[in-house]
Each structure stands twice: as C-alpha cells, then as structure tokens.
Amino acid sequence: MRYDALPDEAVELYGSYFSQIAIRESSVVMRQVRKELVSAVESMFGRKPRVVTAKPKKGPLVLLATADDPELAGLAEIGRLKDLPRDGYIICRTEQESGGCIVAAGNSDAGVLYAAFHLLRLLQTEQGLDGLPVAEGSPNKLRMINQWDNMDGSIERGYAGQSIFYRHDKIVRDMTRIRDYARLLASVGINAISINNVNVHRTETKLIAAEWLPSVAKIADVFRGYGVKLFLSVNFASPIEIGGLQTADPLDKQVQRWWKERAEDIYRYIPDFGGFLVKADSEFRPGPFTYGRDHADGANMLADALEPFGGIVIWRCFVYNCQQDWRDRKTDRARAAYDHFLPLDGKFRDNVILQIKNGPMDFQVREPVSPLFGGLKQTNQMLELQITQEYTGQQKHVCYLVPQWKEIVGFDTYAAGEGSTVAKAVSGELNRLPLGGMAAVSNIGDDANWTGHPLAQANLYGYGRLSWNPQLTAEQITDEWVKLTFGDDPDVTETVSGMLLRSWSIYESYTAPLGVGWMVNPGHHYGPNVDGYEYSKWGTYHFADSRGIGVDRTTKTGTGYAGQYNEPVASLYGSPGTCPDELLLFFHHVPYTHRLKSGSTVIQHIYDTHFEGVVQAEQLKREWLTLEGKIDPSVFRETAERLDMQIESAVEWRDRINTYFYRMSGIPDERGRTIF
C-alpha cells in the first residue's frame, strides 16, 4: 500500500484510463473503494483522477461496479461473474468507440473492493494490464484474523508492541490505526476478525455487555467499510460472571435465555455482527464439561442464540488435558482434539464451525497435520494457523511461514480418496458443507512497522493471499510481497525472496530436531531449553534418554495417534521405515544410531543441522548486508539488528542441543567439531 510513483512508461500506457473513475457510492464499502483508488491513483500517477458516478459518454476511464449495475449491461465478460462466489470479481478491458475502459466488477461490494486492490497490485508490481481479463473468487467463505489482544493493552503472544484496539482496560478512541489495519487486511482479502483474546478474562467478558457494545460497534463500523465482519471471543462462563446466574450449563433454560438476550443486544448495536469465537474446557478456561455436557451441547446453545440474526459460532478444537501425569506414557495430548471431536461429527448446528489448529500439538516449527481434517465429514471446519511467531522466533528470527502453510493446505487426508487436501476440507468442498475457511492468529501490534521484525510483515500478507487462494505458490506470494514492499530492483527481490523462502527450514535446523518439538523455555517459549517441558504436566515430551529419543505414537506399541489418519497415511507414519525424516521423532522412539532416509544417523543429523543452522543464519545476515543503500535505512537497520539477535540465539540453540545429546548419547560428532 505504498503506492509509489509509477515509472514513466506505465504512466504513459495507463495514465489516460486512470484520469477518470466511474463509481457509484451505493454503500460504505463502495465509498472506501473510491477513496482508496483516488488516493492510490494520485500517488502513483501524480495527478488526481476525476470521479463520476455514472459512466460518461466518452472514455477512457476505470469503471467500478457491482454485477447488478446497469452500466455493465451488455458487457460480455460480466457473464462470468455468475460462476464466481459472492466475493468474486472480474477485471477486464473494453475498447469502445467512445474510448477504452477498464472494468472492475464484483458480485458484491467487497468483490469490487478486492478487484480494486487487485488492479492496484498489478500496477505496483509492474505486471501491467496485459494479463487481463482476470476472474477470481475465493473458495474460503471465511478468511479470518484472530487478535489475541487483552483490554489492558497487552497481547497474548504479541511481539510487536501493544494492542491497537485497547489501552488501560478501555477501547481506544482514536481509530486511525484500526482503520489502517482494516485497509491492509482487506487488501489481501481478509473478511472477518475477532478482536479479543480467546482466553477471555474478567474485563473482556464484558465486551458483550451494554457497557462496551457502543464502543465495540464503533470498531465494527470501521471494519464494515472494508468488508470485514467483526466477531468477539466469549467466555463460556459469562452467565455466571456477568449475568448473575448460578450456572453456565448449556442445557439450562435460564442460561439459554441469557445468551439469546445477549445476542439481541449485540445485534441491536451491530446488525451484521459475525458471531462468537469460543475456547472452552481448554487450559483452565470454563466449558460444558463442568456440567457433564459435551462440546456439541455448548456450541449448539450459542448457535441457537445467534441463528435468528445470521450469526455463527466458531468453536475451537484446542481441547486437551493440560494437567496430565508425565509418568503416563499412554496419555497423548496429540490424540486429544480427534478423540474429543470426532465422536461429535454431525451433531453440530449448521451455523457452527470447528476451528482446528494445523497440528495436533501447538504451532510447533514442525508437526504433522491434524488428523481431524480427514476425519470430520459432517461438520463445518476451519483451519487455524499462527502468524504470530510464538514458537518460531518471536519476530526476532526471520521465519517466513508461507512454505509451512503451503504444506499444510496441500496435505492429502485421503478422506475421500486421493486429492482430499486440507484446502478442500476446510473450504467445505470435500464434504459439501456450507461454511468454512481459514483463521490465523495475528502478528501485529502498535509498533510503527506493525510486526516488530520488518520481514514478518510477509507472514501477514502471505496468510491473507493464501487464505484467498490456497493454490498460489509460496514463490508467487513472496515475489508479490517483496516487490510491493521494496520495489523491483532485481538484487533486492532475489536476495529478500531467497532469504524468506529458506528461513523456515533454517529455523527448523537449529531448533528441536526431526519433528519432536517443545525444546523451548517454558512460559514465554523463546530460546532453547531441552528438558523445559519434559517433566511437566503439559503433555509435551521427547522421552530422550541415553539410548534414544522420540515419542512412540504407533498403534502397536505407542499411543495409537498414528492410527487417527486415513490410509495410506496411517501406515506411512506408523512405521519408522516409511515415516518422513522430518517427522520421525514425532511418531517414533528410536536409538540415536537409527539411520534416516537421508543416510545420516539421528545423532549425526542433530549435530549437522545444528552446526549448519548457525552457518545459515550468518549467511542470512551477510546477504542482507549486501542490500545497504537499496533499502530504506531504518528498515535496513532494524532488520540487521534482528538478524544479529537471531544469530546469537541460533548459537545458543546449537550449543545447548548438541551438548545435551552428546552427553546423553556419548556418541561424538563424526566430523570432530567442538561440542561442549
């Protein structure tokens, strides 16, 4: 959204079209389309366009309209809109006698907005308009952001400053930053946001009460202009905490009535309110289990309250026992989501969506994909990703997650034979379900650059683009972001793209090996601590001893988790001979001398990747330094500083992990490098 001045050639080619814009401001969204386009055109072409509400007799011009607009009558291309989803659009060029016209038409106002952003992106990445016509629509009905913001201004797992929504237990008055956020989310196709932490504490519980609803409505007004629906995370125990009731039992008539009244209140203030996001019976949060009810009882009760208004319930599947006995090798946290939710398949109302974390544990650098995606057949589902880098370097390390997310959405669940990808399961296509999509935990705060690490912006951008179109490749998304952010100097684009695309695998190489996860400091989760989570109650173990390491999750001798997958995946993961190297220790307990498919032993792999990881982190820094003078000086400096922190931390990871496993196994490094 820099809208830098275009090169003369582009101004020459397209300037005349963009001298006139025809748009009817029939809604708040269309007003924002007009504003966005006018300011972008002014800044890119160096002059303000003339704005008209009806197509003038003579062109050239840019015409933006919804499908039903009479101005579009007779345009052949427009017919294609009916095959696209509600937020779909087409952009085409017509050359008429009266002059050329670029048409950006959407099935809805939001579609026109996305078309406008698409058009601007083409100009800014200097792709020009030769690729027109384009016709796009997203398979995902919901493309959502979850803020984990608290009203005191802090952000759970936030690494980029304080909340832009709250300060000192109040909603901010100045909404400028929120408006900018809405713009940037809409520019990549996001259409829903929940604005408070899934851990809903006392203060935030009141967001659904009359005291706060007028202010929440103001935030909703801002997002509405950009086609983004507002959701709130709710506390399942609200009827007790703020309703004065004795119980929150979902089958209790008073409780049901209480929630219905809350829904009525909310919709009075926010007529297009999206609905509730719920974390229940998880990590000390209240839920239906307290009353001997299941999660379908809980979700359906809220769904019934919202249904008359078109609202939905997004119910999280991150439900597990966080107080389990670490001495019990059979209890497996990885099994929990599937064990809890699969038996409830088909029992949820149509306006309930289950939101499932990408993996069975918790956003580790490497996990298998949750087997629930391939298990649920009759329940709306949504994929939950984490943009904020809780376990992936906390925005001090560069760790570009789009390649990880691509693997996740492309994972084949075999639920209905080959090709049953997670992307198809969550869009609803696989099981012909009405609702679905993707959600991700935001990585922004009030830092001037939004994300702390300047390169972490690529994760937010990438998530939006991928949730709009899961078919885009990581390379395409990266190329777009780098060009939009830094311009198109090939030295810069090649270097930054290369750094981003390798960064996840570099981070993985110096952290927990072979999918075992969890070797982080407890609590804050930054930096190495091999046994930090080993003897605690969180269900997060690696079982390393002097002979071997890894968690036996096979059906024969282990926890049985591998059996939650459909065939052939269950068998693939179920045997150490076929299990992919990168997930070996997630599924199997093996001796240090076990030979990987790569040819290396487990212990030698640990040494090699940890030495090499530091070399690679240093290489990232060297590459970045070659860009001095070609990048905005403050961005250059901030990134260089963070790369130094990354190297320092990678060295610590290398030394701790290598030393630990050298001492545990007593096996020296084949290459004789120094291990302490």
- List of residues contacting ligand BDP (CB under 6 A): 156-157, 198-199, 279, 283, 318, 362-363, 390
- In the chain, what is the greatest distance between 2 CA atoms, to the nearest angstrom? 84
Cβ distance to ligand BDP smaller for residue 490 or 523:
523
Cβ distance to ligand BDP smaller for residue 143 or 279:
279
Q: Is 625 exposed, middle or buried (0-12, 13-18, 19+ CB in 10 A)?
A: exposed
What DSSP line would sit under 486-553, residue for residue?
Answer: H-S-HHHHHHHHHHHHHHHHHHHHHSSGGG----B-TTT--SB-TTTTTTSSSS------SSEE----
Cβ distance to ligand BDP smaller for residue 362 or 479:
362
Q: How far is the CB of 467 from ligand BDP (least distance, A)?
A: 18
Cβ distance to ligand BDP smaller for residue 152 or 304:
152
Cβ distance to ligand BDP smaller for residue 2 or 524:
524
Name the helix (H) or strand (E) containing 101: strand 99-106
- Say which of 9, 12, 169, 283 is annotated catalytic: 283
Report d(CA 478, CA 483) in Å as an integer.
8
What DSSP line would sit under 140-185, residue for residue?
Answer: -SEEEEE--B-TTS-BTT--SSS-SSEETTEE-S--HHHHHHHHHH
- Name residue 35's amino acid: K
Q: How far is the CB of 157 from ligand BDP (least distance, A)?
A: 5
- Work out the number of other CB atoms within 10 angstroms of the CB of residue 7: 11
Q: How far is the CB of 150 from ligand BDP (least distance, A)?
A: 11
Asked if residue 651 lies in contact with residue 613, where contact means CB atoms within 8 angstroms, the answer is: no
Nearest-CB residue to ligand BDP?
Answer: 362
What's 54's DSSP letter?
S
Coil, strand or helix: which one is 632? coil
C-alpha count within 13 angstroms, C-beta hemisphere, residue 489: 12
- Active site (annotated) includes residue 362: yes
Report d(CA 422, CA 77) in Å as an integer.
32
C-alpha count within 13 angstroms, C-beta hemisphere, residue 241: 17
Cβ distance to ligand BDP smaller for residue 278 or 500:
278
The closest alpha carbon to 40, from 93, 12, 1, belongs to 1
Report d(CA 147, CA 420) in Å as an integer.
30
Q: How far is the CB of 318 from ligand BDP (least distance, A)?
A: 5
What's 595's DSSP letter?
B
Q: How far is the CB of 39 from ligand BDP (least distance, A)?
A: 37
Cβ distance to ligand BDP smaller for residue 270 or 302:
302
- Active site (annotated) includes residue 390: yes
What's 612's DSSP letter?
H
- How far is the CA of 403 from the CAs of 165, 414, 457, 577, 637, in angstroms? 30, 21, 15, 26, 26
Cβ distance to ligand BDP smaller for residue 136 or 390:
390
Tokens of 191: 């259409």
Q: How far is the CB of 199 from ligand BDP (least distance, A)?
A: 5
Coil, strand or helix: which one is 643? helix
- Say which of 71, 281, 332, 362 is annotated catalytic: 362
Cβ distance to ligand BDP smaller for residue 392 or 421:
392
Q: How far is the CB of 325 from ligand BDP (least distance, A)?
A: 21
Report d(CA 314, CA 302) in Å as an integer.
10
Asked if residue 247 lies in contact with residue 241, where contact means CB atoms within 8 angstroms, the answer is: no
Q: How far is the CB of 439 from ligand BDP (least distance, A)?
A: 11
What's 290's DSSP letter?
G
Cβ distance to ligand BDP smaller for residue 157 or 553:
157
| Residue 93: strand pairing partners | 102
Q: How far is the CB of 154 from ligand BDP (least distance, A)?
A: 12
Asked if residue 228 lies in contact with residue 190, where contact means CB atoms within 8 angstroms, the answer is: yes
Q: How far is the CB of 283 from ligand BDP (least distance, A)?
A: 6
Q: Among all residues, which ones are annotated catalytic?
A: 283, 362, 390
